[in-house]
Structure 1
Amino acid sequence: MPSVQRYDSVPIRDYHFDDQTGFLYVYRVPIAGAMVQKYVKSDGSEEMEAKLPEEILSDSTVSSANSKPVTDGHHGLVTKDNSHDLMKGFTASNGHVEGNMLYNDITITDPNLISQIKNGSKRELSIGFETQMDPTSGTYNGTKYDAVQRNIRINHVAVVPKGRAGHEVRLIGDSAEAVDQVEPSEEKGNQMETRVVRADGQNITVAADDVEKITKLDADNSAKAKQIADLDAQIKKLKAEKAQLQGNADEANKKADSAQAKADSLETDNEKLKDQINHLKGDAFDERLNLIDKVKSFVGDSDYDYHGKTDRDLKIDAVKAIKGDSIDFEDKSDAYVQAAFDMLEKPKQVSGYAGPDPETKGDSQDVDLMALRDASYGY
């Protein structure tokens, strides 16, 4: 089952201040409950996901709500490496279940965040958690769902602006009514999600985080293609008007000249738009996909995560997949990395005369490249 991140929200109810420290306390916060929620994903699709009682109210999930960081907004998973910057408070250790709801207390220590809560600019608590998606459908309390959130592990509690679109749970007594929950495209789960999108007339598989960028690019291309089609139609119409006007008197000739000027102007705009589309498509996107495919042929396709890596990182990963750590890339130039990557397609052993030595420029980098070549050919 794929592991993903989710964010659910509840409004901050009554809070209190410690007279000595000035810390803000919120007691008995309803963190989550057994329910079915609609999540609108980054690709625009919707999925009804169930928090079944045996999952959200399990001992492991309740325990995961204890002693966790409180943050100012969501910034991905909170760990020891980023807690110094992100942690603005903490949850208590009294996570417990009442009915179909999970409760806990929170303490907020950061003065800026406390001020935002007091002035009303931030008045909701949004739970950030990891869960594994089980694509099992069913019905809970009369509501159909498409998948079940299993192995729910709460990572942090974020304070977010009041009424933030897509992250609100309105409390009615001791229960919660869920509205659309948006899965932010900038957050990643433990396992990369992919989507199939149609771009430039063909289906391609991309990382879920890149869907918005790809679809926007394709939408821009489609919009400009429509503009070109409209301009072509206008040009055709104007040329027809010109042909009709050419048989008339001087006034008709003037109109024909005007129509020709418009047609020329439209043709110029047409060419500009075509250039813009070619620029939008460019070679960068295709080159990136080709590089990823090539690297996958060396590192394997099943578990390799290329998202967020530079071209240099991808090439180094490919070399290490074949040669291990025998080559040190620290402080090496991009040319050195490119040479090591290119040599992966060459035979590892060369018998007989291998041709004249390449010309060198005499600097330390050339020595490195020559050593890399010798190692690759087995000298």
Structure 2
Amino acid sequence: MLTRYDSAPINNLRLDQQTGYLHADNVPIARVGVFPYINAKGQVTMEAKLPDDLLTDSTIETANSKPITEDHPKEAVNSRNSEKYMKGFTADNAHAENGMIKVDMTITNKDLIDRVLKGDKQELSIGFSTNNYPVKGNYKGMTYDSIQKNIQINHIAVVKRGRAGHSVRLTGDSAEMLIEDESEEQKLMETTKVHVNGTDITVASQDVDKLMKLDSDNSDSNKKIAEYEAKIKEYKSKVAALQANADEAQASADKSQAKADSLDKELATYKSKFEGDALDKAVEERMNLIKVVKSYVGDSYDFKGKSLEDMKKAAIKTVNDSIDLDNKSNEYVNAYFDSMVANRKPSSVVGYTGAEIKGDSLSDLESKAMEARNSIYNY
């Protein structure tokens, strides 16, 4: 059996004019609930007085005709020490009411009566024994570590003040259960465990409602913050996607611009070949080459769209069909062609006599040259 002390304010006092005794009617001395207790080592546990354990006939009966003491004695009160400790007694009308045990009481000691009337002694502290069972649970939103069973009230002490002080006193006819500490100097408020933000914490009982409201407000704030953070993350993702697209578009634009600049340069180079005297020289060079090449390839060869090198390769092939010119440089082709023409017999170099040129007459070739020249200028 363990010894426990619970405290409650003294209510409904009346002084008996005949005897001088002080009566307190219908005093709440115990109530169901979850309460903190502390031992000599300073360890605090939350213990539950459940209705089925506190409000039993056997427990209520122990509140009848029990001694009243001034402060708690260091031992249980009994017939051997009652003369030393007893300053009054409870009535025999203990009963259960609204989840509490209540009983009338009478203080007979004059010194103690004077202290109560002056306000020096203001509260009751119930001393009792109990069996404590380590069973965890929750009662009306308050978690507990163990359950008190077989509760037996031994005495009721009149004390200066509850361990929690007056700031946590319950008003009206409610009992206030407080912790009994081994040290008179050590003060411990009535506390309870509440579940806040995923964690059980111990707080003063009077602050539970405030804490729960703050937790609710904090949860709402956290929810809003989470919503804002989610939106910010979403917007940042969209910005990143747009930036990536913009970078890709810019890269594509830069690549296209580079191609355009390159083509512009090639076009300028190509046009420079056909400006002024350069065009005349190009036309003259092409016409002269056509006259020579035609003497090798004949009238069936289509000169349209052929480059100078293409025409020279065609002429070379008529003389040496086995030669591979595909991988030869322009310099090689030019040198081979020039050597081939230079070594040809004069009588067969028809390109220099006009009358011996196969196919078109000179006048026809000159007419086509003028057409080519005009076409280049139009370009």
Tell me which interval the TM-score lies in, with the shorter structure as reference length: 0.3 to 0.5
Normalised by the length of structure 2, the TM-score is 0.46
Q: Identify, as 1 or 2, the structure richer in strand.
A: 1
Q: Which has the larger radius of gyration?
A: 2
